[in-house]
A and B are shown apart, each in its own frame.
Chain A
Amino acid sequence: MPALGAGCVCFPTTFLSQHKETTVQLPIQRRTTIRLVVAAAGLAISAMAMAQETIKVGLLLTYSGSSGVGGQLADHAIQLFQKKYGTTVAGKKIEFVKRDTTGPNPEVVKRLAQELIVREKVHVMIGPDFTPNVLAVAPLVTEGKVPTIQTGAATSGIVGERSPYFLRTFFSIPQLIRPLAEWAVKNDLKKTYVVVADYGPGHDSEAQFNKAYTALGGTIAGNSRVPVRNPEFSSYMQRIKDANPDAVLAFFPLGELVPQFLKAYANAGLKDTKIKLIGTADMTDEGLLDASGDTSLGVITSGPYSDAHDSPENKALVADFNAVASKIGRFNASAVAVWDALRLIYDGVAAQGNAKFDPDKFMAFTRGHSFDSPRGPVTIDKTTGDITQNIYIRRVERQDGVLKNVEMVTFPNVPAK
């Protein structure tokens, strides 16, 4: 840093002194010296400021409460990414400012986002997680012109609609549901019972599946909406038994409902029947697999990322991650979303070179940007800013004593819409 500063100072001072000598007649030696010193000092300060410009990245994630693991996993992903790719891009230091959303908490998140944008003056944000939080920050992000990358909200109709500064490296519900419906019909699952959690994303999944599945010739055998606080599943299991479908589609938010549902499903004896249990990646997320245990064996889900994804990059990443963070949890879809959000930020900042950070140029660059993610090739959509990626149909199996989402079928380049 000092060497660079000094180098920058030398050139303009000599230039300045020549300039002075040619335009000003017989300058008083002493005054010139003072002027030169002042000019040199000013330039040195501005040169140092140039070299030290930092890009502030606001992290709006959940660090405490029932979803607190998510934030901790993100922190480890960030550390690992910076270890691998460095902490500066094009001479700019990448710095992080953390805020804890504590869960789906739109009022709190609105205040935190305001704090990050107005007081901390962040250039880019990662998060917030949970759809209601995302909706709450949309107007602030637009007004403050802060590119904001979604790594944990999957509802359709957010990215590309609520704010021109939204990007997403996670996945969208229809992106997972459509390939799943297609796979189910292809594999002769003609009658499906749909069980979803009774809240926005649950209704979204239900509607998307009904549309895609019936369009392909499938029949909905029945449906149940389960309260988000629900300790007792036996009635729903009985309804499934009565309907006697070929498959059950289940959608629950990441959390206690998933292991509860899987346990109730196994206890009711449904796991031992010919009925197939299918769902979105949330049902067998790496963060819940170990808690669900053997009840999740054989569950078929569609998802963008599995820590068992067979590529050298992913294997190395998972090994590095487990070496430092295996106590906290496993690398999962939201951790890889944070990883890819950093890739977008690094690439986007690098593309602007030495110039001052410009959010609109950042958006123009990232939209349409393609890169290789640990999950496979991804592209950020040119018009919406949402992610286009491979969707894999996976089955939970035990490999080397660990439950894993083993990929069976790949649907390449599935758009988010």
Chain B
Amino acid sequence: MTSLLTILFNGLAYGLLLFVMAVGLSVTMGMMQFVNLAHISLSMLGGYVMVWAMDAAGVPFLVSLLLAFGACAAFSVLLERLVLRHFYGADDLTQVLLTLGLLFMSIASVAFIWGPAFKPVTVPSWLTGQFSLAGLQLERYRLFLLVAGGLLTLVLVFTLERTRFGAMVRACVDSRRAASGSGINTDGVFALTFALGSGLAGLGGAMSVNLLSLDPNFPLRYLVYVLIVVSVGGMGSITGSLLAACLIGVADVLGKYYLPELGGLFIYLLTVIVMLWRPQGLMGRAA
């Protein structure tokens, strides 16, 4: 029983991390039908910004996380204005090829700037080691992921459901033409959403460094997981992404614990089953 609870805890923390990395992609895909595979490169950028800030500038851990968020949001605005917006009307294949190219460029650029080796990170001592809770030995860093991920989810849901900006975003996701017709500056809304989503990707990437690992091949390793979260959750749905991320996280650790022979195959099976049952994703609406 204690094993099961520990594993659930680990899986949820992992799931929330995936959620933070993927939610931006889900919203922008739902809103603009723009397939941005380079989203995961922003997570890598966030990781490098954080490690660089901590190592070279001596910035404390939590501040460097915010820096990663800010840097990725700012960089994505540049990317959106200079490159991506010219391809909003393009077909899926063009978008996929373009952003895949950007992804490979990001790998080469990062290797050139920061070198091809793995980048270690040292988190503050209050985030290392374990703590006891009701007889369970749990990892402090995963608790941090759970708390941070949970707070972010609340803020996101509140922003989308309760604020004027949120209403505009929802309107754009529902029907961009109708939103535009009723006077919403859809370009502006999209740019801001894109920046927010990219900032979150950077933040997720930065938070992941201590749990996963950081090197220039980061995007190739984690792209699949982010895409699974988006497609299982349903494009454009925050709660869907959250549900999918937690499901994938928990299923992954449970599968590896109870059915180690299946190894990493478990989550792919789960993805196939969900996709057969609901091709539009758990919370997505049928086209």
Binding site for B on A (CB under 8 A): 65-66, 68-69, 198, 224-227, 229-232, 234-236, 238-239, 241-242, 256, 259-260, 263, 266-269, 272, 287-288, 290-293, 327, 329
- The size of the chain B interface, using a CB distance under 8 A, is 43
**A269-B129 contact given A293-B120, A293-B122, CB 8 Å threshold:** yes
Q: Is the CB of B217 within 8 A of A68?
A: no
> A231-B222, A235-B256 given. 8 additional CB < 8 A pairs?
A225-B260, A231-B221, A232-B14, A232-B256, A234-B139, A259-B213, A260-B212, A263-B213
B244-271: which residues lie under 8 A (CB-CB) from chain A? Answer: 249, 252-257, 260-261, 263-265
B116 at the interface (CB under 8 A from A): yes
Q: Once the chains bind, are A238 and B212 in contact (CB under 8 Å)? A: no
Please state if A291 and B117 are interface contacts (CB–CB under 8 Å).
yes
Instruction: Kindly supply a per-residue 1/0 record for chain B positions 110-123, scoring 1 wherever the CB is within 8 Å of any chain A CB and 0 otherwise.
Output: 01000111111010
Q: In this complex, what residue of B is CB-closest to A241? A: B3
Residues in B with CB closer than 8 Å to A68 are 111, 116
In the complex, the answer to whether B122 meets A256 with C-beta atoms within 8 Å is no
The CA-CA distance from A66 to B115 in the complex, in Å, is 11
How would residues 129 to 149 of chain B score, 1 for a CB under 8 Å from any chain A CB and 0 otherwise? 110000001010110000000
Q: Chain B nearest CB: distance from A318 CB in Å?
A: 18
CB closest chain-A residue, reference B252? A232
Give the residues in chain B near A329, CB-CB below 8 Å: 117
Assess whether A291 is in contact with B260, with CB atoms less than 8 Å apart. no
- Could you tell me the distance in whole angstroms from the C-beta of A330 to the nearest C-beta in chain B? 10
B118 contacts which chain A residues (CB < 8 A)?
A: 256, 259, 288, 291
CA distance A231 to B219 in the complex (A): 12
**Shortest Cβ distance from residue B215 to the other chain A in the assembled complex, whole angstroms:** 6
Q: Which residues of B contact A (CB under 8 A)?
A: 3, 6-7, 10-11, 14, 111, 115-120, 122, 128-130, 137, 139, 141-142, 210-213, 215-217, 221-222, 225, 249, 252-257, 260-261, 263-265
Cβ contact within 8 Å between A66 and B117: no
Contact indicator A232/B260 (Cβ below 8 Å) = no
Taking a contact as CB atoms under 8 Å apart, the answer to whether A256 and B217 are in contact is yes
Q: Write out the residue numbers on chain B whose beta carbons fall within 8 Å of the beta carbon of A256.
A: 118, 213, 215, 217, 221
A290's contact among B120, B217, B265, by CB below 8 Å, is which? B120
Which chain A residue shows the least CB distance to B111? A68
With A234-B253, A256-B118, A291-B120 as given contacts, are A66 and B215 in contact (CB-CB < 8 Å)? yes
Whether B120 pairs with A269 at a CB distance below 8 angstroms is no
CA distance A229 to B256 in the complex (A): 13
Show 28 residue pairs from A and B whose CB-CB distance is below 8 angstroms, ordered by the A residue: A66-B217, A68-B111, A224-B260, A226-B263, A229-B264, A232-B10, A232-B211, A232-B252, A232-B256, A235-B252, A235-B254, A235-B256, A235-B257, A238-B3, A239-B257, A256-B213, A259-B213, A263-B210, A263-B211, A267-B128, A267-B129, A267-B141, A267-B142, A290-B120, A291-B120, A293-B120, A327-B115, A329-B117
A214 to B252, CA, bound (A): 32
A318 CA to B224 CA in the complex, in Å?
Answer: 41
A292 to B118, CA, bound (A): 8
For the complex formed, measure the closest distance between the CB of B6 and the CB atoms of chain A, giving whole angstroms: 6
Closest beta carbon of chain A to B190's beta carbon, Å = 31
Q: Is there contact, CB below 8 Å, between A235 and B10?
A: yes
Among B128, B210, B216, B221, point to the contact of A229 (Cβ < 8 A). Answer: B221
Give chain B nearest CB distance to A266 CB in angstroms. Answer: 8
Contacts of A267 in B (CB 8 A): 128-130, 139, 141-142, 211
Q: Given the interface contacts A260-B213, A267-B139, does A236 sit within 8 Å of B256 by beta carbon?
A: yes
Question: In the complex, what distance in Å separates the CA atom of A235 from the CA atom of B221?
Answer: 19
Q: How far is the CA of A236 from the CA of B210 in the complex (A)?
A: 18
CB proximity of B232 to chain A, nearest CB, Å: 17
C-alpha spacing A256/B208, complex, angstroms: 14
Contact of A238 among B14, B142, B216, B257 (CB under 8 A): B257
Is the CB–CB distance between B221 and A65 below 8 Å?
Answer: no
A residues less than 8 Å from B249 (CB atoms): 232
B10 cross-chain contacts in A, Cβ below 8 A = 232, 234-235, 238
Q: How far is it, in angstroms, between the C-alpha of A241 and the C-alpha of B130 when the chains are bound?
A: 14
Contacts of B211 in A (CB 8 A): 232, 263, 267
B73 CB to nearest A CB, Å: 24
Is the pair A198, B263 in contact by a Cβ cutoff of 8 Å? yes
A65 touches B3 (CB 8 A): no
Q: How far is the CB of B7 from chain A (nearest CB, A)?
A: 6
A229-B264, A256-B118 known; A268-B213 Cβ under 8 A:
no
Report B-chain residues with C-beta under 8 Å of the C-beta of A225: 260-261, 263
For A239, the closest partner residue in chain B by CB is B257
Of the candidates B116, B137, B210, B256, which one forms a contact with A269 in the assembled complex, judged by CB atoms under 8 Å apart? B137
- Could you tell me the distance between the alpha carbons of A235 and B252 in the complex, rounded to whole angstroms? 9
In the complex, what's the smallest C-beta–C-beta distance from A264 to chain B, in angstroms?
Answer: 8
Chain B residues in 8 Å Cβ range of A227: 263-265
| B7 contact set on A, CB distance < 8 A | 234-235, 238
Contact B264 A230 (CB under 8 A): yes
* Interface contact A239-B260, CB-CB below 8 Å: yes
Nearest chain A residue, comparing its CB with the CB of B265 = A227
Inter-chain contact A69/B116, CB cutoff 8 Å: yes
Chain A residues contacting B130 (CB-CB under 8 Å) are: 267-269
**Min C-beta distance of A174 to chain B, whole Å:** 25
Inter-chain contacts of B260 with A (CB < 8 A): 224-225, 235-236, 239
Which residues of the partner chain A approach B129 to less than 8 Å between Cβ atoms? 267, 269, 272
Contacts of B6 in A (CB 8 A): 238
